[in-house]
């Protein structure tokens, strides 16, 4: 156990115990780790350090030269009341590594986890690994329109919401690190953090690309059919919009036609495709440009302006590097209604065990989430073949 001093929003110093009981209570309360519980409970100044950052700072974890073993054993920590520094040090270092990995996934060049969550219509965290998917039935409202009714009558059009009969398990993925006692004293904490961040980034990128591909191909584990099986979801640039197109090419007519299609129900603001698909969008023929236009010429002309556009000013393109992403295939969705991400906080588990005989230590971090299409109508596929 170790006592840390935390400065709250009023400037007062509060003394908090950081020990196993804090981390156990955090797990019970659905927090990823113990210091997140402190963050939730201790209100700090908005422009200042959070409670967890203050704990990290008191341990000197922000220093670039701090060795891993030094951090784990809290050798840099000077406080009046400390018992068994080793346990607290290990708990805090785990939390630090977890936060560093998460921050990296949110803000690195890829930032893929942050991007994926930002594009989600809904993100939920559940304290458990079993998830009951809501079934949204739009058959009745889609078949008719709301209309005037007599007093005390039931409305003619109602959305039906039921829970799935099947519960889905949120499978987890783990990342681990094992280090010998000898290396702990020589390797620095930033190096360990960097190594884990790199691995986690690669994994997160693959996982997100896999989930995006599942939106297209379907996932039987989540009762999600392929978009090919959704009526009207697939359009072909040549046969549906522009008969002059060759395979792999796109024109302004086909692009806008696809964005416009079904736009009473959704507005495509994000597309996922491979690099060749992204280049086809950029190099589409007939794309408006003002390079040869003289806006000041005295000519007989009127400039038209669509006052009710059903396409956004900017369509964001996510380029998938998944080799299984099909060529000449663009999947678009309306990020307001597109997909639902469910994260299991109980999977955000970290554990550390010491192998006394092997003179080594292992740390593992588990994370689990699922994503599924919330409304099939929010998605559409454009093939360029």
Partner 1 sequence: MATTPDPKADPKAAAPKTPEVKAQYIRAVYGRMVDPLTALEYTSIPSELYKRTSWVDSQLEAKKLELCDPPEEAAA
Nearest-approach distance from CB 274 to partner 1, in angstroms: 9
Residue 251 contacts partner 1 per CB under 8 A: no
What are the percentages of helix, strand and coil residues in the chain, rounded to 5? Answer: 35, 25, 40
Q: What are φ and ψ of residue 114, in 5° steps?
A: -60, -40
- Residue choice 38, 100, 224, 234 for contact with partner 1 (CB under 8 A): 234
Give least dist CB 213 to partner 1, A. Answer: 8
Q: H helices then E strands: how many in the chain?
A: 11, 14
Sequence-distant (≥ 6) Cβ neighbours of residue 167 within 8 angstroms: 130, 131, 132
Least distance between partner 1 and beta carbon 286 (Å): 22
- Regarding 211 and contact with partner 1 (CB under 8 A), the answer is no
Residue 227 interacting with partner 1 (CB under 8 A):
yes
| Residue 328 in contact with partner 1, rule: CB under 8 A | yes
- Which residue, 329 or 335, is less far from partner 1 as judged by CB? 329
Q: Does 378 bind partner 1 (CB under 8 A)?
A: no
Show the binding pattern over residues 109-138: x = contacts partner 1 (CB under 8 A), - = does not. Answer: ------------------------------
Q: Are 382 and 332 in contact (CB under 8 A)?
A: yes
* DSSP code, position 220: G
Chosen residue from 171, 228, 275, 351 binding partner 1 by CB under 8 A: 228
When asked if residue 244 is in the footprint of partner 1 (CB under 8 A), the reply is no
Q: Is 218 in the site for partner 1 (CB under 8 A)?
A: yes
The reply on whether position 248 binds partner 1 by CB under 8 A is yes
**Considering CB under 8 A, how many residues would be counted as binding partner 1?**
24
φ and ψ at residue 127, rounded to 5 degrees: -95, 80
**In sequence order, what DSSP letters do the residues of 112-171 get, joined into one string?**
HHHHHHHH-SEEEEESSSEEEEEEEE-HHHHHS------TTPPPS---EEEEEEEEEE--
Q: How far is the CB of 214 from partner 1 (least distance, A)?
A: 9
Q: Out of 145, 323, 356, 357, name the contact with partner 1 by CB under 8 A.
A: 323
CB 235 to partner 1: min, Å = 9
Q: Which residues of 149-161 are buried (b: 16+ CB within 10 A; e: fewer)?
A: eeeeeeeeeeeee
Select from 197, 273, 329, 369 the one that contacts partner 1 (CB under 8 A).
329
* Cα 51 versus chain centre, distance: 25
Binding range to partner 1, per CB under 8 A, among 58-66, 126-134, 251-259, 327-335: 327-335
Minimal CA–CA distance to 125: which of 84, 86, 170, 81? Answer: 170
Q: Work out whether 217 is an interface residue with partner 1 (CB under 8 A).
A: yes
Choose the binding region for partner 1 from 61-69, 104-112, 216-224, 356-364 (rule: CB under 8 A). 216-224
- Largest Cα–Cα distance in the chain? 89
Closest to partner 1 by CB, 236 or 360: 236
Is residue 275 at the binding interface for partner 1, with CB under 8 A as the rule? Answer: no
Q: Does 247 engage in binding with partner 1 (CB under 8 A)?
A: yes
In DSSP notation, 271-337 reads EEE-HHHHHHHHT-BT----TT--TT---S------SS--S-S--EEEEP--TTSPTTEEEEE-TTT
Q: Is 76 in the site for partner 1 (CB under 8 A)?
A: no
Q: Which of 83, 229, 243, 321 binds partner 1 (CB under 8 A)?
A: 229
224 binds partner 1 (CB under 8 A): no
Beta bridge partners of 361: 179, 354
- 278 is a site residue for partner 1 (CB under 8 A): no
Where do we find the tokens 């409304």? 375
Q: Which stretch binds partner 1 (CB under 8 A): 66-74, 84-92, 255-263, 322-330?
A: 322-330
Q: How far apart are CA 88 and CA 50, in angstroms?
A: 19
Rule CB under 8 A: is residue 216 a binding residue for partner 1? yes
- Of 54-62, 162-170, 222-230, 291-299, the segment contacting partner 1 by CB under 8 A is 222-230
Neighbour-count burial of 56, counting CB atoms closer than 10 A to its CB (0-12 exposed, 13-18 middle, 19+ buried): buried
**Residue 240 CB partners (closer than 8 Å, separation 6+):** 254, 257, 258
Other residues' Cβ atoms within 10 Å of the Cβ of residue 265? 14
Where along the sequence are the contacts to partner 1 (CB under 8 A)?
216-218, 226-229, 234, 236, 238, 247-248, 276, 322-324, 326-329, 381, 383-385
């Amino acid at each position: 156990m170790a006592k840390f001093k935390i400065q709250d929003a009023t400037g007062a110093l509060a003394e908090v115990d950081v020990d196993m009981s804090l981390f156990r209570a955090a797990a019970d309360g659905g927090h990823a780790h113990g210091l997140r519980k402190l963050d939730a409970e201790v209100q700090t100044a908005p422009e200042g350090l959070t409670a967890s950052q203050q704990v990290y700072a008191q341990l000197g974890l922000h220093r670039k030269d701090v060795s891993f073993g030094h951090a784990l054993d809290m050798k840099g920590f000077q406080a009046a009341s400390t018992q068994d520094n080793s346990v607290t040090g290990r708990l805090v270092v785990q939390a630090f590594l977890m936060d560093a990995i998460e921050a990296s996934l949110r803000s690195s060049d890829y930032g893929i986890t942050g991007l994926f969550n930002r594009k989600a219509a809904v993100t939920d965290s559940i304290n458990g690994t079993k998830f009951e998917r809501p079934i949204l039935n739009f058959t009745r409202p889609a078949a008719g329109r709301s209309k005037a009714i007599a007093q005390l009558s039931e409305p003619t059009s109602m959305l039906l919401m039921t829970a799935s009969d099947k519960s889905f398990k949120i499978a987890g993925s783990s990342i681990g690190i094992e280090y010998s006692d000898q290396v702990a004293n020589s390797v620095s904490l930033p190096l360990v953090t960097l190594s884990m961040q790199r691995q986690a980034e690669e994994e997160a990128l693959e996982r997100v690309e896999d989930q995006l591909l599942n939106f297209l191909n379907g996932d039987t584990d989540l009762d999600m059919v392929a978009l090919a099986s959704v009526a009207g979801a697939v359009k072909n640039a040549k046969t549906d919009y522009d008969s002059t197109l060759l395979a792999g090419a796109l024109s302004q007519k086909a692009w806008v036609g696809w964005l416009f299609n079904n736009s009473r129900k959704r507005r495509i603001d994000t597309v996922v495709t491979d690099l060749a698909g992204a280049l086809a969008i950029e190099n589409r023929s007939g794309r408006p440009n003002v390079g040869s236009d003289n806006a000041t010429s005295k000519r007989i002309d009127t400039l038209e302006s669509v006052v009710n556009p059903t396409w956004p000013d900017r369509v964001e393109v996510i380029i998938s590097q998944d080799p299984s992403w099909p060529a000449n295939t663009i999947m678009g969705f309306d990020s307001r209604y597109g997909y639902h991400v469910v994260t299991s906080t109980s999977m955000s588990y970290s554990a550390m065990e010491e192998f006394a005989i092997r003179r080594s230590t292992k740390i593992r971090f588990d994370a689990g989430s699922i994503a599924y299409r919330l409304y099939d109508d929010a998605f559409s596929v454009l093939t360029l073949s």
